[in-house]
Amino acid sequence: MTVPFDSSYRRAFRAAIYGQSFGVQPQQALSRGLGLLYLYALGLPPQAILVLLSASVLIRGLLSIPAGYLADRLGKKRVGIFGQVLSIAGFVLLTAAGWATAGSPRLLMVTLAILLFGAGTALFGAGWIALLSPLIPPESRGRLLGRLRFYRQLAAVAVGSLTALWMTDTTPLVGFQMLFGALTACLVVRLLFYGQIPELEHTAGSRTHLAGAIRNILAIPGYRRTCALVSSLFFVVGGVPMLFGLLAIEVLSLGDDDVWWLGVAMLIGHLVGSWLGGSLIDLVGGYRVLALCQLAFGGSLVLFLSRGLVSSPVLSAAAASILFGLTKTTLEITTAAELIGLVPQSHKALAISTCMSLVYLADSLAGLLIAALLPHLGTVRWQLPGAVPSTAYDVVLIGLCGLLAALLLWVLKVSKAR
């Protein structure tokens, strides 16, 4: 069922926009550079940082299917509220980690915080798209999802820019703790707005067993193919933001403020993608947009690899970050739009979260594999354009370009068959 475009619809959608504008800040902070800098300031080694940042997505992937089942059984909002409480607890612990004893106690505290935040995000996200879907008319699905993402990213760019202006070349640990305390407050505000969104499709009390529900979901025409395509693409690009951040810190030797400005550049890309991506989906269709996304992802990697051809490597890094952010947001909107169009009302939360589980697992697996590969790539040396010697990070980026080319052939084949 879809509500008409009246005052109640606008009020609910406005609450979703406001809530996500606050709620996006912590996730963006972890994945776009601030989390990387904070964990460095806590004294954790690069491999541990890669594993921890990937663990947040991994736990989300592992819990998404049971979380979606619970959302259908107990109610999307009830499960979503509990998930947000866990996320808040995780960020409280993450903020307090700076006061823990350096070494194992601090590492254990950060690990628990990341796991709590990942679990909370899984429970919240399991019913989020299903909760919003009755509010979105099919003919403007991409545009409205893009609008929601646009305002969310606009808030992220504004907050990210203010954060970058506030940070210094070597931000003290207490400065990071103040920032993460503010991010915790953002999660509390999101919870307040979340309560204003109505649950129009009530499936609470469903008695179908999990295995039977999943069998029904897998039988949906086009569902398995869509899940396979998008999860494969997320696997290829999942570790790229962390690679960009590590290259900026360890190869380009940028300060904390410059690294965060690169994160803001990626947020600007997200903002542009939110504005253009949704309309593009409605115009040309989801599968054609997936093919365009792969070309654009490849372009962003080539820009970073071509940093020796410009006077300032920071310029190519910023351009790569903007293009990557634009493409990643377009991919996320495409995934949501395709799933809403595929799945029926019954088991909607479970159907969406099952596909998203594969996406999160693929995303996190990418980071974990990169963390495992990096120590073995130190002896591999190529000359990049501009006679710049490659690093282990560049070797991974070149390998990802090859995977994107192979995946593009698959998407083009599927798109022609439709």
Q: What is the Cα–Cα distance from 366 to 173, expressed in whole angstroms?
A: 29
Q: Is the Cβ–Cβ distance between 174 and 98 less than 8 Å?
A: yes
C-alpha 112, offset from chain centre: 20
Host domain of residue 110: 7-417
Report the domain count for the chain.
1
- Can you spell out the DSSP letters for 17-76? HHHHHHHHHHHHHHHSSHHHHHHHHTT--HHHHHHHHHHHHHHHHHHHHHHHHHHHHH-H
Side-chain-side CA neighbours of residue 108 (13 Å): 5
- What is the predicted pLDDT for the residue at 107? 87
Q: Is residue 159 part of a domain?
A: yes
Of the given ranges (128-132, 191-195, 228-232), which has the lowest mean pLDDT? Answer: 128-132
C-alpha 371, offset from chain centre: 19
Instruction: Give per-residue burial for 242-278: e unless 16+ CB within 10 Å, then b.
Output: bbbbbbbbebeebbbbbbbbbbbbbbbbbbbbbbbbb
Q: What is the Cα–Cα distance from 384 to 308, expressed in whole angstroms?
A: 7
CATH code of the domain containing 355 = 1.20.1250.20
Q: Is residue 192 part of a domain?
A: yes
Length of the chain as a residue count: 418
Q: Is residue 55 part of a domain?
A: yes
Is the confidence at residue 179, as pLDDT, over 50?
Answer: yes
Looking at mean pLDDT, say which of 43-47, 107-111, 260-264, 375-379 comes out highest.
107-111
Percentage helix, strand, coil for the chain under 3-state DSSP, each rounded to 5:
80, 0, 15
28, amino acid identity: Q
Output phi, psi for 172, to 5 deg.
-70, 160
Q: Is residue 241 part of a domain?
A: yes
Tens-place pLDDT, residues 217-237: 888 888 888 888 888 888 888
Instruction: Give per-residue burial for 327-339: e unless 16+ CB within 10 Å, then b.
Output: bbbbbbbbbbbbb
C-alpha 258, offset from chain centre: 22
Q: Which residue from 149, 173, 134, 197 is spatially nearest to 340, judged by alpha carbons?
A: 134
- Residue 114: both structure tokens together: 């990341």
Tell me how crowded residue 2 is: count the other CB atoms within 10 A of its CB: 12
Q: What is the Cα–Cα distance from 350 to 201, expressed in whole angstroms?
A: 14
Q: Is residue 1 part of a domain?
A: no
Q: What is the Cα–Cα distance from 189 to 335, expressed in whole angstroms?
A: 27
CA angle 143–288–239, rounded 5-degree value: 85
Q: Between 418 and 285, where is the model more confident?
A: 285
- Residue 394: both structure tokens together: 């560049």
Residues β-bridged to residue 388: 384
- What is the predicted pLDDT for the residue at 41? 83
- Residue 336: both structure tokens together: 């949501």
Confidence band (pLDDT; 50, 70, 90) for 93?
A: very high
Tens-place pLDDT, residues 226-270: 888 888 888 888 888 878 888 888 888 777 777 777 877 887 888
Q: Is the Cβ–Cβ distance between 271 and 79 less than 8 Å?
A: no
Q: Is residue 319 part of a domain?
A: yes
pTM over 0.85: no
Q: Radius of gyration over alpha carbons of the chain, in Å?
A: 21
Q: Is the Cβ–Cβ distance between 338 and 351 less than 8 Å?
A: no
Q: Is the Cβ–Cβ distance between 331 and 290 less than 8 Å?
A: yes
295, amino acid identity: L
Burial class (CB in 10 A: 0-12, 13-18, 19+), 402: exposed
For the stretch 335-340, contacts whose Cβ atoms lie closer than 8 Å and that sit 24 or more positions apart, written own/partner, are: 335/230, 335/359, 336/129, 336/145, 337/141, 337/142, 337/145, 337/278, 337/281, 337/286, 338/226, 338/230, 338/286, 339/129, 339/226, 340/129, 340/133, 340/136, 340/141
Q: What is the Cα–Cα distance from 307 to 133, expressed in whole angstroms?
A: 42
197, amino acid identity: I
What is the residue-averaged pLDDT of the chain? Answer: 80
